[in-house]
Amino acid sequence: MIVPGFRAAAAEAGIKYKDRLDLGCIVCERPAVTSAVFTRNLVKAAPVLDAIQLFSGGKRFRAIVVNSGNANACTGMRGLEDCRRIRRDTAHLLGCAKDEVLVCSTGVIGAFLPMDRYVAGIEKAVSRLSENGLSDVAQAILTTDTRPKMANRTISVDSYRMTIVAMAKGAGMISPSMGPPHATMLSFVCCDAVVEHGFWQDVLNEAVDASFNRITVDGDMSTNDTVVAMASGIAKNPLENGTGILAPILREAVTDVLMDLARQIVKDGEGASKCVSVKVKGAKDVLDAELAARAIADSNLVKTAFFGQDPNWGRILAAAGRSGAVFDPDEVDISIGSVQIVNKGMPVGPEAEAEAAGLMKEEEFSVVVDLGAGSHDFQVLTCDLTDEYVHINADYRT
């Protein structure tokens, strides 16, 4: 998967483990129009604080350096100084300005980066840069993920052909938030379109809001979440500022790519064996639909019932009932896939539940809750809560 203008590579830097790819570098041959969104967690890791400062200038960027195994979070001034050193050293190797380099980290909180190994890793990665290197970076950024996550789209407008390749990592500490768009993991988007900066940020905001902001694994929001989208401009299409014919096509393509990655994240959620779409409809307004959908999608009792392949609609209804959404319980319908199991607040019967339980044996299924209170809906993608999730997270640091 190649995007004109971009080269990438990964290296075994030994950040936390030996002999695995844990440091990646994505480089654009020219300053790329770059948009980004960051975690809304009050506790932000050093690289996030550093990147937010850089972005306040609205500048173009040449490179992303990213590592797994260490989040560089809760590391105080030293963490920030380490970020600056990484930017300076990378810029030196690439022959660009240090303010054109973004640093991202993911991994354990509260440990200093092993800077000697880190810097050696950058040198190794830069020496390996190639057009085909993006998939190695997708490998290098993984933590508790079991597989790399990539997605791509090609679009054509007039005689211009454009490519979008994106990657993401994230399996735990994954939760949507209800504020303005922000990321919930690491994701990098490379594109070769010629775009105006404000439009490119709008495209990312919309895409993140429709994708990463509507998934949950465990309801915990990370200190390091970052999504960066770089556009190299190599496609040489007329500058798109949001008013041209490329605009809707590009919006849709970037949203598609991030929704694809979001689904991959949920499917690879820590310990997850099921990917479940929870749709609340018939709400009196969108906020109510969102409150109910998120309460259901984050409920441990609902998620363990998914694991148990048990159409335990009582837990679903109880979660909606405590969500703050306003509705009449006697008007609620609930379906698993195409099988209705609750009609006007009461069970349809054991046969319907047996059929629904059959559908829940699949790796993917949907839950639709109709509140019967209006015409608004909201959908969240979640996974089940398994004993494997507990094992992964009880043993994470040992």
**Residues in the site for a copy of itself, rule: CB under 8 A?**
40-44, 71, 73-76, 108-111, 172-173, 175, 177, 218-223, 299-301, 304-305, 307-308, 310, 312-315, 317-322, 325-327, 329-330, 342, 344-347, 385-387, 389-391, 393-398
| Residue 327 CB, nearest approach to a copy of itself (Å) | 7
Nearer to a copy of itself, 46 or 231 (CB): 46
3-state helix, strand, coil split of the chain in percent (to 5) is 35, 25, 35
In the chain, alpha helices (H): 46-55, 76-94, 115-127, 134-140, 197-210, 246-267, 286-298, 300-307, 313-322, 350-359, 387-394
Q: Which of 184, 223, 255, 386 is catalytic?
A: 184
Least CB distance to a copy of itself at residue 89 (A):
24
**Dist. CA 360–CA 355, nearest whole Å:** 9
List, in sequence order, every residue forming a beta bridge with 153; answer none if it has no partner: 164
CB of 249 to a copy of itself, least distance (A): 35
d(CA 216, CA 177) in angstroms, rounded, equals 9
Cβ proximity to a copy of itself, 67 vs 312, nearer residue: 312
Which secondary structure element, helix H or strand E, spans residue 347, and what is its range?
Answer: strand 346-347
Nearer to a copy of itself, 131 or 351 (CB): 351
- Of 244 and 314, nearer to a copy of itself (C-beta) is 314
User: How near is the Cβ of 24 to a copy of itself at its closest, in Å?
Assistant: 22
How many residues can be counted in the chain? 398
In whole angstroms, give the CA distance from residue 143 to residue 15: 12
What is the smallest separation between the CB atom of 395 and a copy of itself, expressed in angstroms?
A: 6
* Tokens coding 302: 């609902």
Provide the minimum distance between the beta carbon of 300 and a copy of itself in the complex, in angstroms, as a whole number. 5
Least spacing, CB of residue 385 vs a copy of itself, in Å: 6
Give least dist CB 248 to a copy of itself, A.
34
Closest CA to 113 of 183, 64, 148, 65: 65
- The residue written with tokens 């209800």 in the block is 178
Q: At a CB cut-off of 8 Å and minimum separation 6, what does 154 contact? A: 161, 162, 163, 164
Active site residue 216: no
Nearer to a copy of itself, 38 or 199 (CB): 38
Mapping DSSP onto H, E and C, the string for 287-343 reads HHHHHHHHHHHHCHHHHHHHHCCCCCHHHHHHHHHHCCCCCCHHHCEEEECCEEEEE
Give the whole-angstrom CA distance, residue 210 versus residue 204.
Answer: 10
Reference 280, options 383, 175, 176, 367; nearest CA is 367
- CA 317 vs. chain centroid, Å, equals 28
**57 vs 77, which CB is nearer to a copy of itself?**
77
CB closer to a copy of itself, 156 vs 300: 300
Longest dimension (CA), the chain: 69
Q: Cβ(214)–Cβ(260) under 8 Å?
A: no
- Closer residue to a copy of itself, CB minimum distance, 24 or 176: 176
Q: Which of the residues are catalytic?
A: 184
